[in-house]
Amino acid sequence: MKFTINRNDPLPLYLQIKNEIEMLILSEEYPNGFILLSERKLADILGVNRSTTIKSYDLLKDMGLIESKVGKGTYVIYEKNIANNENIFNEIYWDNYLGNYSFKNSINIMSKIMSEVSKENLISLSGGFPSKEVYPYDKLKQINIEILENNEIFFQTPVRGDRAFVLTLIKYLYSNKHIKLNHKELMVTSGSQQALNLLIQTFVNPGDNIIIENPSFFGAIHLFRKAKANLISTNISGEGIDLNHIEFQLKNNNIKFMYLLPNFQNPTGYNMSIEDRKKILYLSKKYKVPIIEEDPYGELYFDKYTPSIKSLDTENFVVHIGTFSKTLSPGFRIGYIAADKTVIKKLTLLNQFIDIHANTISQNIINKFLSKDFYNEHLEIVRSHYKLKRDAMVNELNKGQLTFQIPKGGYYIWCQLDKRISVDLLLKESLKNGVDFIPGEFFFNNSYEGRNFIRLNFTSSTKKEIIKGVRIINDIIKNMR
């Protein structure tokens, strides 16, 4: 093999290997029929685990570039079909056309989760989706009938959101989250992911320093990477976030933003203390560095509600991102940004050229759902329902060998494995037995740090499925030791 790997590169090693071999095949340095090293031999030469090269080869097989046969080994099957000029115009390699802001080497983890959770007979402990068991079908059917009498729901709204919905949302945020806003300080978006993307596109330049929790939401990590930002990771643990490290970075580096998920954080389930929220807001003001606070899980508490950092902020240092995807339905694709009016104005200018405005029908449905106070009733039901599911998962995990902390809300339990256990092999065996989860590597800026962690979701599967799924994972781990 004619290449090396860079262990300091945030791109996972198996993708680096895959990309290098892919380039050698497409450039015809490895022509059709060329026999590659075995997975084990390549792993030995590069000094990586065999599971790493297995993943690289599997991706290349999925792309139709290589295949393996017993007795022949692994060999190249890609061939440019240009003999006698036959079919010369039928092939195009689209990767050569990718722009600078595309996800060239990103992992399709989200689309994979969305596909996997819909498979029959699969117990999905991976996806971050609400339960279908307590979905308010009847109330939403009633609301749909009502709003269909208004012909205006089929037409456009202002870019910042439907006026009636914006006013309802402002009232709700004040009464439930203690966030005080005027109508110029709120913008409705097509989900929280779009909200974060708008902020990054508007305010983040290549090379900007961003403080981010370690681990953190993989969607945010990839959006910041796409913008070529420099991510500075600060560790979180059961004891809290490392405020000393944050202040050191604020004092010694030119930091553009701090990105935080203080409520039942994804993936750890960690809930930042009110004392730490006040301290981090103080640091934000002291060093003039704004906070991006993403809060998809704050209302899903099992004990008591913890005020958002935004609710403590009186000088508009905090940009607050919320969503109805985790509490009500991801299908509505409705989120929002609460921020200084200047921020909202800049985001509005960009969004008018992206999707113009969020879905009008969805805005009207949620407006009615909030106005009739159905939403608060629904939250009480789902909090009770998710607590029972969390308890069921915790009870089964206690019978196994995973280390974890019990979250007091949210969606996830973050588990640590014995260092001798391969997460890749655990996932492979779990999938064979009809259970999936997300490996921890996706939640770290340096994926290597997540090699001994997995994230388990307790909201979308049934209680019976959760018990069965965790038992399967426990049994596999027991047999792997």
pLDDT over 80 (residue 90) = no
> How far is it, in rounded angstroms, from Cα 459 to Cα 411?
6
Task: Tell me: do 386 and 334 sit in the same domain.
Answer: no
Helix (H), strand (E), coil (C) string for 29-84 = CCCCCCECCCHHHHHHHHCCCHHHHHHHHHHHHHCCCEEEECCCEEEECCCCCCHH
For residue 177, what is the domain's CATH number?
A: 3.40.640.10
Average of per-residue pLDDT across 176-187: 95
CB 462 within 8 A of CB 446: no
> How far is it, in rounded angstroms, from Cα 413 to Cα 452?
14
> What tokens appear for 192 in the block?
């929280």
**pLDDT band, very low/low/confident/very high, at 80 (cuts 50, 70, 90):** low
**Per-residue exposure over 93-110, b if at least 16 CB sit within 10 Å of its own CB, e if not:** eeeeeeeeeeeeebbeeb
What pLDDT is recorded for position 85?
A: 43
314 domain residue, yes or no: yes
What pLDDT is recorded for position 328?
A: 93
> How far is it, in rounded angstroms, from Cα 73 to Cα 95?
28
Average of per-residue pLDDT across 366-382: 95
For residue 32, what is the domain's CATH number?
A: 1.10.10.10
Task: Tell me: do 311 and 239 sit in the same domain.
Answer: yes
Task: Tell me: do 369 and 274 sit in the same domain.
Answer: yes
> How far is it, in rounded angstroms, from Cα 149 to Cα 147?
5
> How far is it, in rounded angstroms, from Cα 38 to Cα 51?
12
Alpha helices in 337-438 (DSSP H): 341-351, 360-371, 374-397, 423-432
Residue 166 to residues 113, 305, 363, Cα–Cα distance (Å): 32, 23, 9
**Interval 28-49: pLDDT, tens:** 888 888 899 998 889 888 888 8
Number of domain units in the chain: 3
Strand-pairing partners, residue 236, are: 241
Query: Which percentage of the chain shows pLDDT scores above 70?
Result: 91
- The maximal CA–CA distance of the chain, rounded, in angstroms, is 74
Which amino acid would we find at residue 139? K
pLDDT over 70 (residue 165) = yes
Query: Which region, left, alpha or beta, applies to residue 228 given φ > 0 means left and ψ of -120 to 50 means alpha?
Result: left
> How far is it, in rounded angstroms, from Cα 187 to Cα 195?
9
> How far is it, in rounded angstroms, from Cα 322 to Cα 325?
9
Q: Residues near 180 by Cβ (< 8 Å), separated by ≥ 6? A: 174
Task: Tell me: do 183 and 294 sit in the same domain.
Answer: yes
Query: Which region, left, alpha or beta, applies to residue 412 given φ > 0 means left and ψ of -120 to 50 means alpha?
Result: beta
Average of per-residue pLDDT across 47-65: 87
Please identify which residue in the block is written with the tokens 């009498």: 149
> How far is it, in rounded angstroms, from Cα 470 to Cα 458?
10
Task: Tell me: do 173 and 195 sit in the same domain.
Answer: yes
6 domain residue, yes or no: no
Length of the chain: 481
Which H or E run contains 142? Answer: helix 137-147
Task: Tell me: do 193 and 321 sit in the same domain.
Answer: yes
103 domain residue, yes or no: no
> What tokens appear for 398 in the block?
């206690």
Average of per-residue pLDDT across 382-409: 97
1 domain residue, yes or no: no
> How far is it, in rounded angstroms, from Cα 294 to Cα 391?
26
Give the lowest-confidence range in 60-64, 86-90, 137-141, 317-321: 86-90
Give the lowest-confidence range in 22-36, 121-135, 254-268, 305-319: 22-36
What pLDDT is recorded for position 440?
A: 94
286 domain residue, yes or no: yes
Task: Tell me: do 170 and 284 sit in the same domain.
Answer: yes
Among candidates 289, 298, 199, which has minimal Cα distance to 246?
289
Please identify which residue in the block is written with the tokens 């983890």: 109
DSSP letter at 301 equals B
Query: Which region, left, alpha or beta, applies to residue 446 given φ > 0 means left and ψ of -120 to 50 means alpha?
Result: beta
Task: Tell me: do 317 and 355 sit in the same domain.
Answer: yes
Task: Tell me: do 361 and 449 sit in the same domain.
Answer: no
> What tokens appear for 207 in the block?
């090379």
Task: Tell me: do 368 and 443 sit in the same domain.
Answer: no
CB 152 within 8 A of CB 314: no
Average of per-residue pLDDT across 456-460: 96
3 domain residue, yes or no: no
102 domain residue, yes or no: no
Task: Tell me: do 126 and 270 sit in the same domain.
Answer: no
Answer with the one of 350, 375, 400 that is the final residue of a domain. 375
Domain extent, residue 365, equals: 137-375
For residue 394, what is the domain's CATH number?
A: 3.90.1150.10
Helix (H), strand (E), coil (C) string for 163-185 = HHHHHHHHHHHHHHHCCCCCHHH
> How far is it, in rounded angstroms, from Cα 225 to Cα 106?
10
Answer with the one of 325, 350, 375 that is the final residue of a domain. 375
7 domain residue, yes or no: no
Task: Tell me: do 128 and 193 sit in the same domain.
Answer: no
Q: Taken in order 350, 353, 356, 357, is the CA torsion positive or negative?
A: negative
Average of per-residue pLDDT across 115-120: 60
